[in-house]
Structure 1
């Protein structure tokens, strides 16, 4: 007797990292590990490995639109996760699609640089993020350097206030790029700081932690969790995937997002 199970769908739009550490593969693994189902659209191809990113090849806006609309004709996503975008025209396209699907929470991971520090967003893209996608997002998940770049502020609370003023409903600023003993992540909404979580900083460097966290949150929102609960659970899951990281290349470690399957 066959068993057919329904699972909430998360539409993930982002770049393809051939090494599997970040990007669409990271999104899909994190969503599936949470118990939701990922459908994916690639916004950019990359030349990339665990040591860094060499080139980005943004996909044509009409191709990305065609893929998104084909999926949206077939399924109803319970959340949308956006990562690396690749070009300003794609930002406008995604804004249109969001407006056509009201009620779907958007988790925006504003990827401005690779894990090894290579920039992947120009001034035009920064402007379009501020004007088009941040105002449409339920949650924006920049690390502190990204939040500073987007806002011109320095302190996490000031960065969050400026991003909230653009229209985002929640802001999660991560402290992975600090040199502190613990990693501190701050969750804000219009009423101020709602959650501060400190995690022991693990040794080594990791490729794809931001993608993992944002997608894990999106999956939990799709499953019906409230924002603070989704963020706390996703942060615990992400830390565990880093603590069990894999050595898949010469440089940064790869999060073990499917650690529950390990023997």
Structure 2
């Protein structure tokens, strides 16, 4: 076998759904990773029928097929970070947990996609249980928005949601405030060691499709570059806010983050 040198940029394996509108999902992941001068590897967990106005149908792919794709990529191109988005089913979540266990030193960012930007649910009770019990404890960082954090924990306040996720085994939890009815968007980072950080961002007008995917992938790319977790979270927020400030009108409804604005 040829001795292949590592590329001049880190590799990020993105595992998630395909959004044909390009606002969220694998396309969003790949753009955010590339914008950070990292190289995206992609595996699709589910095909979706959606546009900027919402989701019509979701078609999860077989768990064994997803696992085969991941294993082949990881054996050929060992990633420096893993980002997980839309999962599609409890069996896929269990498979991803096994995959993480095989590479315990690889940082993992879990974007707990429970609903579309338009509010449509993409997770049933079985998947919620696997997220809580199997994936959350195995990931370096979990990045729910406040409604997702509440659905995962049954708590209400961000601090209470974070404490329950940390208690479930998550080393770090970032709860985003995009769904709050506040003048500023406050994102709160909680560490299992008691470390706490909060950032306020001007709330932009309009609705956006794919901001959560953008943020989580941007964090994963920065972790792949070797940033500390707090540095990666702070830098990725600044980048994501700029993608929203310069968002594109690609359809009739929600705006698309301009992830390649630079």
Q: Does the CA-based 8 Å contact 2:11-2:78 persist in structure 1?
A: yes
Identify the match of residue 177 of structure 1 among 168, 176, 179.
179
Pairing 1:111–2:113 present: yes
Question: For structure 1, which segment, 76-85 or 4-13, has the greater mean C-alpha deviation from structure 2 after superposition?
Answer: 4-13
Identify the match of residue 23 of structure 2 among 21, 24, 28.
21
CA distance in 2, matches of 1:235, 1:7: 21
CA distance in 1, matches of 2:102, 2:194: 30
Residue 225 of structure 2: aligned partner? 223
**Shift in Å at residue 191 of structure 1?**
3.2
Runs of 5+ unmatched residues, structure 2? 1-5
Residue 142 of structure 1: aligned partner? 144
CA distance in 1, matches of 2:75, 2:193: 37
Runs of 5+ unmatched residues, structure 1? none
What are the equivalent positions in structure 2 for 1:66-81 lying under 5 Å apart? Answer: 66-81=68-83
Give SS of 1:259's match.
coil
**Shift in Å at residue 6 of structure 1?**
1.7
Q: Does the CA-based 8 Å contact 2:186-2:200 persist in structure 1?
A: yes
CA distance in 2, matches of 1:240, 1:193: 27
Deviation string for 1:29-66 (max 9, x for gaps)?
00010011100000000001000001100000111011
Q: Does the CA-based 8 Å contact 1:186-1:193 persist in structure 2?
A: no
**Shift in Å at residue 244 of structure 1?**
0.2
Q: Does the CA-based 8 Å contact 2:170-2:192 persist in structure 1?
A: no
Give SS of 2:186's match.
strand
Runs of 4+ off more than 6 Å: none
Deviation string for 1:79-119 (max 9, x for gaps)?
10000000110001101111111200110001000000000
Q: Does the CA-based 8 Å contact 1:22-1:209 persist in structure 2?
A: yes
Identify the match of residue 56 of structure 1 among 51, 55, 58.
58
